[in-house]
Structure 1
Amino acid sequence: MKVMMPLVGDILSEHFGRAQRFVIYEIENGVVKDKKFYDAIEHFEGAFPAWAKSQGVDLVILCGVGPRAIEFFNSYSIDVISGVAPQEHSKIIQDYLAGTLIYTNKSVCEH
């Protein structure tokens, strides 16, 4: 399983469209096997979901995201967890794997 998060520095970006970079964790049997960082690509409608699909991402963990972006991710069979508070990505993945990640799953975005 591959899990992607948009980042500003090492912190979950409040809006994935404004991310400086992305981290993709590779998870096997509930354990992190690998993680890779990627510079953000140009932002336009549908760009990040399409890029995530090309990287084989199964799940994105986000803070703020609009309903249209969620539709794009879902159209590529990528699950979305949203409404996660901005914090260090390593803490988020740790909480996700432990089943203790706090999130609202609400579409939160200014557009």
Structure 2
Amino acid sequence: MKIAVPVKEGVLDAHFGHCSHFALMEVENQSIVAEELIAAPPHEPGKLPPFLANLGVTDVLAGGMGGRAIQIFNSNNVNVFVGAPALEAKQLVEGFLNKSISFTANCCDH
């Protein structure tokens, strides 16, 4: 499993499409085994889902994301979880793995 979190200064960036970086966490046996920070490409509708899928991402944790982006991720076999709380990326992924955080409504409506 490889989880992507859109971040700004290490914390979840609530607007997925305009984040500066992605924290990528490689997970084995419910534990983070590798971390990587990569720069996000310039914002262009529909570009980020295949970009992350090509990096082997299987899951995305986001604050808000447009419906079309979610559809493109799903068509690339990437699971999307929206409504994530604004936490540091590693803390967010650990909370996701041990089910100690809650995801709320998608805060993006476009």
What RMSD, in angstroms, separates the aligned Cα atoms of the two structures? 1.1
TM-score scaled by structure 2?
A: 0.94
1:108 matched residue in structure 2: 107
Letter in 2 for 1:36: E
Q: How many residues align?
A: 110
Q: Which has the larger displacement, 68-77 or 86-95?
A: 86-95
Unaligned runs of 5+ in 2: none
Deviation at 1:98, TM superposition (A): 1.0
Deviation at 1:110, TM superposition (A): 4.3
Partner deviation per Cα, 1:1-31 (whole Å, 9 max, x = no partner)? 1000000111100111110100110000111
Q: How does 1:1-111 map to 2 (within 5 A)?
A: 1-104=1-104, 106-111=105-110
| CA distance in 1: counterparts of 2:98 and 2:109, whole angstroms | 31
Unaligned runs of 5+ in 1: none
Partner deviation per Cα, 1:40-67 (whole Å, 9 max, x = no partner)? 1011111110101110100000001111
| CA distance in 1: counterparts of 2:66 and 2:107, whole angstroms | 6
- Structure 1 stretches of 4+ with a deviation exceeding 2 A read none
Deviation at 1:100, TM superposition (A): 1.4
TM-score scaled by structure 1?
A: 0.93
Secondary structure of 1:60's aligned partner: strand
Identity among equivalent pairs (%): 30
CA contact (8 A) 1:67 1:107 kept: no
| CA distance in 1: counterparts of 2:48 and 2:101, whole angstroms | 23
| CA distance in 2: counterparts of 1:70 and 1:107, whole angstroms | 11
Letter in 2 for 1:38: I
